[in-house]
Structure 1
Amino acid sequence: MARFILGLVELGVSAAVHLLFGFYVFSTAVAADISQAAAASGCPLLRRPPPAAGLVDVAAAGEEEERQGAAPVVLDGSPPPIVLVHGIFGFGKGRLGGMSYFAGAEKKDDRVLVPDLGSLTSIHDRARELFYYLKGGQVDYGVEHSQVYGHTRFGRIYDTGHYPVWDEQNPVHFVGHSAGAQVVRVLHQMLAEKAFPGHDTSEDWVLSLTSLSGALNGTTRTYYDGMLAEDGRSMKSICLLQLCRLGVIVYDWLDIPWLKNYYNFGFDHFEMSWRKVGFSGLVDLLLGNTGPFSSGDWILPDLTIQGSLKINSTLKTFPNTFYFSYATKRTRKLFGITVPSSVLGVHPMLFLRVLQMCMWRHPQNVPLPYKGYRDEDWEDNDGALNTISMTHPRIPIEHPNRFVIDDSDCNPLQPGIWYYKIIEGDHILFIVNRERAGVQFDLLYDGIFERCRKHAFRKSPPTVPNETSQ
């Protein structure tokens, strides 16, 4: 009984912290939009003050473009664009008003795209959406997949792709944060297998992949949030994910247009709106008889160790693609025990999870998720992912890799090898709020973009945007 009560208290605290953070992000976006609208109307009190001399006002740089909203950015030719792919609960350009998931990093280069993918949809579905976002056309989730998981085959229509010339002569650089890195890997495999009808794709369409706190091998946090360690697909009856499930179902069922335009979980292809299913459909969704949470076609099962192992067993590291991974951690050893490395340095939403993940022990009566699994290997973490999961693909087989201390240690880059670096930081240090990371933010993204532009190429170095001929 005491353990049950303690579990309920932990659930209440965790739910409250996550709700407060979600409300903070949402209200910040709304406040920024109101401020922009007021400034546009000529109200002098709400105009943004000019930046100090020598500084670039990144947030303001794209405000006018965001207010205009409509026309998609369409890139053509060379150099290859850099595509920033968000993680779980993330959002792309056009959602949450003018807020940037990557905290304005996209303004560091003229040829950067930030797609908006389903924030809770499965890795497979997000990979399909990413392809059509770039190439154009109507999202095709696949006949077999759609039938198995009970949703419509087709989704959003992109009349014009954001990079319609995409092919092996015009490849792209991908930067994936969290689950976004695994989305790119699945898309890459689909390209290699020519899985998009009407398109002659190949693995050479991807020039480089940079994984930033990438979910490459799953995370033990999924079990704390409510996934069962027994199979990695089912949920506990009472847990944080059940609360999330109920909230998402009601949100999608209400289908309030302006609200879903502002933020969308990405389940439109499941047709959960009251206009489609009525009240009886809502009951079925809540009871777990239908919908993505019933079929398992959503992001959390893909982020368990078992789910990641299943996905990884079908994925390759390709010989002509460059790979670099930044693994984050907020833990250290104290008298032989793994503990959080900082109190003030960890985001309040993640501190409890950092501590819990340090103490994770796989249930003794449950089969190990893979051969050779050891709890101690999974103790270091950043509050959302285990550090061991972020370095390079490890399960079921370890891919070619090389640990580096300094970015320059890997130059010249060799394709087909996962270069990885471990940096101090929690899971959201380099997104949403750039002030938290300070100078580290610029050092990180400047390094990523420089690598894409000057060190990851198959033929001759591409022309760097804004670089004038001498």
Structure 2
Amino acid sequence: MEKEIGNRKGFLKKVLVMLGMILFVGVIQESKVYAENSDPNIFVHGLTGFGEGELGPKLYYWGGSTQNIIGDLSKKGYTSMEAVVSPFGSNWDRAIELYYYIKGGTVDYGAAHAAKHGHDRYGRTFPSLYPQWDENNKVHLIGHSQGGMTSRMLDTLIREGSEEERAYALANGIELSDIFSGNRASWIRSITAIATPHNGTQVAALAKNLLHDIIYGSAFIANSSTVNLRYDFKLDQWGLRQAAGESNKNYLKRVFNSSVWKANEDIVLYDLTTEGAGKLNEQTSLSDEVYYFSYSGNATYKGPFSNNYYPLLSMFPVYSASATYIGATGGKEWRANDGLVPVISALYPFGQNNKMADGNLVTGAWYVEPTIKGWEHMDFVGQDYIQAPALKGKVQKFYQNIAERNRSL
């Protein structure tokens, strides 16, 4: 009897040892797969974007009123941060702001650039979001809409700098900002562009009216009024900062009536046109050290009797008119869209290396994910207030997959 009990104890001990070995190996394997880098995900908003708390305590650019995408990712162990730049600035100005927002310091748009376009050289001063940012402490940039274009501009600037700024500083005997010297090829690990108009959008021609609708729509969503809505355009370099004592209503009126929107190639309205986006494609390049990913959505369908595309019934009403306009404008390959951006424009920048998603991740080329059918422009950030509750889980999974992939690079 005692011998039998001893045998049982010996057997149980062997089982426990084997289980322990399995669990130990599992832990090792998990750490190898899921902890290859701890670089933070830095989120870059698009057109009309805003920071946490700007339009109310429970309204997020990244998540709308139903979730906090960045906060949720951080809680799950994926270090994630939000960068806030001008919601209407050009990609050059926004890229400079993004650099200083991450690294810290007073924004220097460049002396040559400021002189050329007629605005102030210096902007706001930012504390550092990620002060250790360098070649040993890289970042993943995740940009929605124009945020993807801005991330591309920053990627090229920190690598190549600006020959124009270097020449101008030398000729005029003035100080050159570090960003324009370049030589920072290893500071970014990956760029993810979500619903980004890499090649522009037909609706840019109607953008000013659309901006007006979006701003006033934001007031409604924030349960405010245009009189009480405090919206920061962050266009200080153009003299459009709200003055002390200036009412919100008068500030909005002054901004919308400003000449900054007219015949200006250093503002968002130009950068989103096919011409402006084409220039950005010529100015930017890809690095052999950086991974590039793109996502697109299609919330339209082809009409039965023409080559026109029409918005799905599920589309957020604010974008139905623009979806219809895009769906009837330009070549037929430009008509399928997400409400603001043609699918063909969101795939990859024309003229840059690219490949369709096949499971083999490479640097130096756009890795183009399959177009998500049924998702419109703001579904990607949870701001379609009709579909947001139903899509909440899918949006969470979408960003968790991106964060998981980024960590494995």
Give me the TM-score of the superposition, normalised by structure 2.
Answer: 0.73
Partner of 1:149: 117
2:328 to 337, 341, 359: 359
Of the candidates 118, 135, 140, which is equivalent to residue 168 of structure 1? Answer: 135
**Does structure 2 retain, via aligned residues, the 8 Å contact 1:124–1:186?**
yes
Which consecutive residues of structure 1, in runs of 5 or more, have no partner in the other structure?
1-77, 227-239, 248-257, 362-374, 457-470
Inter-partner Cα distance in structure 2 for 1:144 and 1:85: 26
Find 1:430's aligned residue among 380, 388, 391.
380
Q: Is the 8 A contact 2:311 2:324 kept in 1?
A: no
Aligned amino acid, residue 103 of structure 2 = K
Greater alpha carbon shift after TM alignment, 378-387 vs 108-117: 108-117
- Alpha carbons of 1:162 and 1:273: their partners in 2 closer, same or farther (altered >3 Å)? closer
- Helix, strand or coil at the partner of 2:355: strand
Which residues in structure 2 correspond to 1:203-218 (within 5 Å)? 203-218=185-200
- Match in the other structure for 1:403: 356
1:420 to 362, 368, 376: 368
> Would you say the 8 A contact 1:245–1:293 is kept in 2?
no
Q: Report the Cα offset of residue 269 of structure 1.
A: 1.8
- Aligned residue among 330, 342, 345 for 2:312: 342
Q: Report the CA distance shift for 1:315/1:102 in structure 2 as closer, same or farther (over 3 A).
A: same
Task: Find the structure with the greater CA-based Rg.
Answer: 2
Which residue type is aligned with residue 198 of structure 1?
A: D
After the TM superposition, which parts of structure 1 deviate over 4 Å for at least 4 consecutive aligned residues?
Answer: 241-247, 273-276, 282-288
Q: Are the aligned partners of 1:167 and 1:201 in contact in 2 as well (CA < 8 Å)?
A: no
Could you say what secondary structure the match of 1:430 adopts?
Answer: helix
Pick one of 447, 450, 460 that aligns with 2:401. Answer: 447
The letter for the 2-side match of 1:320 is E
Give 1:243 shift: 5.9
Q: Does 1:80 align with 2:30?
A: no
* Cα distance in 2 for residues equivalent to 1:348 and 1:161: 38
- Equivalent position of 1:108 in the other structure: 73
Match of 1:324 among 293, 317, 326: 293
Task: State the shift of 1:244 in Å.
Answer: 7.5
What one-letter code is carried by the residue in structure 2 that aligns with 1:101? Answer: Y
Task: Give the secondary structure class of the aligned counterpart of 1:164.
Answer: coil
Selected match of 1:376 from 304, 326, 332: 332
Deviations 1:372-403 (A, max 9, x none): xxx11101101100100000111xx2x22122
Picking from 96, 100, 120, the partner of 2:88 is 120
Compared CA separation, residues 347 and 244, structure 1 to 2 (3 A): closer
* TM-score relative to the length of structure 1: 0.64
Cα–Cα, structure 1 residues 82 and 149, in superposed 2: closer, same or farther, change >3 Å?
A: same
SS of equivalent residue, structure 1 residue 349: helix
Change (3 A) 1:91 1:419: same
Cross-structure match for 1:8? none
- Residue of structure 2 in register with 1:59 after alignment: none
Alpha carbons of 1:266 and 1:284: their partners in 2 closer, same or farther (altered >3 Å)? closer
Cα RMSD after superposing both structures: 3.0
Show the counterpart of 1:236: none
**1:412-456 deviations in whole A, cap 9, x for unaligned?**
x111121112112110012244425233212211111111112x2
Kindly tell me: are residues 140 and 292 of structure 1, through their superposed partners in 2, closer, same or farther at Cα, counting changes over 3 Å? farther
| AA in 2 matched with 1:384 | L
Contact conserved, 2:334 with 2:342, CA < 8 A, in 1? yes
> Does the residue aligned with 1:444 lie in a helix, a strand or coil?
helix
Tell me how far apart the structure 1 counterparts of residues 213 and 303 of structure 2 sit (CA, whole Å): 35
Matches within 5 A, 1:261-272: 262-272=230-240
Structure 2 CA distance for partners of 1:216 and 1:287, relative to 1, 3 Å = closer
Distance 2:336 2:122 in 1: 41
Give percent identity, aligned residues only: 29
Deviation at 1:352, TM superposition (A): 2.0
8 Å Cα contact 2:311-2:339 kept in structure 1: no
C-alpha deviation, 1:285, in angstroms: 8.1
* Aligned positions, number: 327
Structure 2 CA distance for partners of 1:284 and 1:353, relative to 1, 3 Å: closer
Unaligned runs of 5+ in 2: 1-36, 163-175, 217-226, 247-251
